[in-house]
Amino acid sequence: MTFRSLRILAIAGLAIGASVLWGDPSSAADKCSPRTLKGEYIYALSGFKTAGDSAAQRTPFAQAGNEQFKGDGTMSGAGTMSSNGVIAKVTYKGTYTLNADCSGTVTFTDNQGQVGHFDIFADNDGDSFTYVQTDAGIVSAGWERRH
């Protein structure tokens, strides 16, 4: 081998080693799918209902509980909600998507017939994610962590 050939091989080896050590930054965020969210998660969210003509209809709320993501685009959950100080237990079932860039959506219907829509943003390993509710007349956001 010539010196030039050895030099090219050394540079190629360094480039391969660097990509193994640090990964390809262009594909680092392209690792998610519905399978990424699988298992039991705990959550907390809070917000405010902005819809309604009277102050009694525009109320703060908070909720905490746990959810089961099945890794196949389906989920279910249970929690306790405080809506303007009125406590209620809730259960719900729904569906979710998770794109390659780790953004997605969740839609569910609870035991009171309420439908919720959320945009979600997960970390690459699915251990946690944040979300914001996208229904008109509601401002809420929260986080979840796998346990």
Structure tokens at 100: 């390659």
Architecture of domain 34-146: Beta Barrel (2.40)
pLDDT tens-digit profile of 19-62? 444 444 445 546 999 999 999 999 999 999 998 888 778 899 99
Angle, alpha carbons 47-59-128 (nearest 5°)? 15
Q: Which residues contact 16 (CB under 8 A, 6 or more apart)?
A: none
**Where do the DSSP E strands lie in 22-127?**
38-49, 60-70, 74-83, 86-98, 103-110, 115-122
pLDDT tens-digit profile of 130-139? 999 999 999 9
Q: Which residues contact 104 (CB under 8 A, 6 or more apart)?
A: 32, 96, 97, 98, 119, 120, 121, 122
* Average pLDDT of every residue of the chain: 86
pLDDT for the residue 56: 77
- pLDDT exceeding 70 applies to what percent of the chain? 80
Quote the CA–CA distance of 9 and 4 in Å, as a whole number. 9
Domain ranges in the chain?
1-29, 34-146
pLDDT tens-digit profile of 81-91? 999 999 999 99
pTM, 2 dp:
0.77
